[in-house]
Amino acid sequence: MRSPQAAVSTTSEKRDEDVTGGRSFCHIEEKKMKKLPFITKEELEKIAEKYPTPFHIYDEKGIRENAKAVNEAFAWNKGFKEFFAVKANPNPFLIKILQEYGCGCDCSSLTELMEAHALGFSGEDIMFSSNATPDNEFIYANEIGATINLDDFTHIEVLDKLVGIPETISCRFNPGGLFKISNSIMDNPGDAKYGFTKEQIIEGFKILKSKGAKYFGIHAFLASNTVTNDYYPTLARTLFETAVELVRETGVELKFVNLSGGIGIAYTPDQMPNDIKVIGESVHKVYDEIFGPAGLNDVAIYTEMGRFMMGPYGGLVTTAIRQKHTHKEYIGCDACAVNLMRPAMYGAYHHITVMGKENAPCDHKYDVTGSLCENNDKFAIDRMLPEINVGDLLFIHDTGAHGFAMGYNYNGKLKSAEILYHTDGSAQLIRRAETPQDYFATFDFCDVLGDLSGK
């Protein structure tokens, strides 16, 4: 993951004036911006009878509509392709939906490469954007024909020694300094571990060309979770200008520019979501403006969105199992940070709907917690919500990306099931919940735990 500072989000200018930090979001909801789950209480209760909470549930309809909108937004570019960032949500059932829309996979590790390959993605459909890359991952990526996006100048020699330089190769660019849109600082690439400097990329392209590379790509990821339609166009300007300079200096054939990820979603109800159509049109303008005069009219645009493709179309469903009244009012859930780490890790906001109480007044202030022995295991702090009773189902919004995927097993807690809520209203188990046997399975080489490890 990116550094926590990278989780900067620029709030849209259309921010509701009378909304302030500690204020109830129900207040604005009543006015206009209701953030509601994609599924009803009755349907969730039915699913929870069969698959006990907690679980992540995904909205097939939303995933499909969004994937279609992304393709339409970039339809002006003949070679456009979204390589879904597998790390955001590696569930194969969900990736197969995106595959129907022509998406490829952006992989960052051996297992992600293995999964993409097993799902039938061809080499060209797999981007390998990794850093501090181990030898075996370069070897495997090359074996399955994935496009390798080098993170560093020194990796050229490493790759050359391991497997030789492939025909198609990409390099990741880091311009350094601060990344700004207008006057606001979006992020700090100068402090990020990723990418080549400009000088290194020019020199790198020359070396790669001399070693037989024919088709070149350039990639950059300069800000994370950007909630503004200006991120991609601003990044595109930097990359397109750099690309023109690279082609001029090195004479390589530029095949693609990879805008990578970073397109954010509206986690809070007052944020104005990104408009992918506007983003696509704005990138088009910059493309024509910079590539037109340079005669680069065949360059493909690639993206590697994770959050934007999946984030809003997932929710974590958990049951309120305990109430605690001490110095504060607590609601204890059957889910914890193991199922969704973003609030604990980044202090990230995730909206919560108490199912069936969508229209009730938010007149109770709660900390909504999990059961880890970690005081940061809280899905919400001082959140104004309707009164919560033991047994209520809570829907924690926007967990489709970097949700389940960031899970871990601290305190020996187990990872949950994942459910796909189909367009026809049916629910399909797309990952079973972990069992204690899964947790103990890595001791199956010995008998220290007896039967527990399933040996």
Our CB check for ligand PLP shows the closer of 170 and 339 to be: 170
Closest distance to ligand PLP from the beta carbon of 55 (Å) = 22
Q: Which of 81, 307, 350, 351 binds ligand PLP (CB under 6 A)?
A: 307
CB–CB of 39/210 below 8 Å? no
Decide if residue 224 touches ligand PLP (CB under 6 A): yes
Distance CA 198, CA 248 (A): 14
Closest distance to ligand PLP from the beta carbon of 131 (Å) = 8
* Closest to 401 measured CA to CA, from 62, 44, 18, 19: 62
Distance CA 362, CA 386 (A): 4
* Closest to 5 measured CA to CA, from 189, 205, 202: 189
Decide if residue 306 touches ligand PLP (CB under 6 A): yes
Our CB check for ligand PLP shows the closer of 284 and 307 to be: 307
Q: Residues 75 to 114: which contact ligand PLP by CB under 6 A?
A: 85, 87-88, 106, 108
Question: Radius of gyration of the chain from Cα atoms?
Answer: 23
Decide if residue 304 touches ligand PLP (CB under 6 A): yes
Closest distance to ligand PLP from the beta carbon of 302 (Å) = 10
Residue nearest to ligand PLP (CB): 261
Residues in a beta bridge with 253: 215
Name the token pair of 304: 């590697």
CB–CB of 79/301 below 8 Å? yes
Closest distance to ligand PLP from the beta carbon of 350 (Å) = 15
Closest distance to ligand PLP from the beta carbon of 305 (Å) = 4
Name the token pair of 70: 């992304």
Decide if residue 53 touches ligand PLP (CB under 6 A): no
Distance CA 355, CA 8 (A): 30
Our CB check for ligand PLP shows the closer of 211 and 277 to be: 277
Decide if residue 28 touches ligand PLP (CB under 6 A): no
Distance CA 370, CA 413 (A): 11
What three-state secondary structure class fits 67? helix
Decide if residue 133 touches ligand PLP (CB under 6 A): no
Closest distance to ligand PLP from the beta carbon of 303 (Å) = 8
Decide if residue 174 touches ligand PLP (CB under 6 A): no
Binding segment toward ligand PLP, per CB under 6 A, in 304-312, 315-323, 360-368, 421-429:
304-312
Closest distance to ligand PLP from the beta carbon of 224 (Å) = 5
Decide if residue 260 touches ligand PLP (CB under 6 A): yes
Distance CA 440, CA 248 (A): 57
Our CB check for ligand PLP shows the closer of 47 and 283 to be: 283
Decide if residue 378 touches ligand PLP (CB under 6 A): no
Closest distance to ligand PLP from the beta carbon of 267 (Å) = 13
Closest distance to ligand PLP from the beta carbon of 84 (Å) = 9
Closest distance to ligand PLP from the beta carbon of 210 (Å) = 27
Binding segment toward ligand PLP, per CB under 6 A, in 261-269, 321-329, 361-369, 443-451:
261-269
Our CB check for ligand PLP shows the closer of 106 and 137 to be: 106
Decide if residue 317 touches ligand PLP (CB under 6 A): no
Our CB check for ligand PLP shows the closer of 312 and 370 to be: 312
Closest distance to ligand PLP from the beta carbon of 83 (Å) = 8
* Closest to 377 measured CA to CA, from 421, 347, 420: 347
Distance CA 76, CA 292 (A): 14
Phi, psi of 332 (to 5 degrees): -95, 130
Give every CB contact of residue 262 below 8 A, 6+ residues apart in sequence: 221, 222, 223, 224, 225, 226, 231, 235, 305
CB–CB of 168/126 below 8 Å? no
Q: Which of 169, 235, 340, 401 binds ligand PLP (CB under 6 A)?
A: 401
Helix runs in 51-197, H state only: 60-73, 92-100, 110-118, 135-143, 154-163
Chain-centre distance for alpha carbon 6: 13
Distance CA 388, CA 367 (A): 11
Name the token pair of 318: 């958990």
Q: Which residues bind ligand PLP (CB under 6 A)?
A: 85, 87-88, 106, 108, 129, 221, 224, 260-263, 304-308, 401
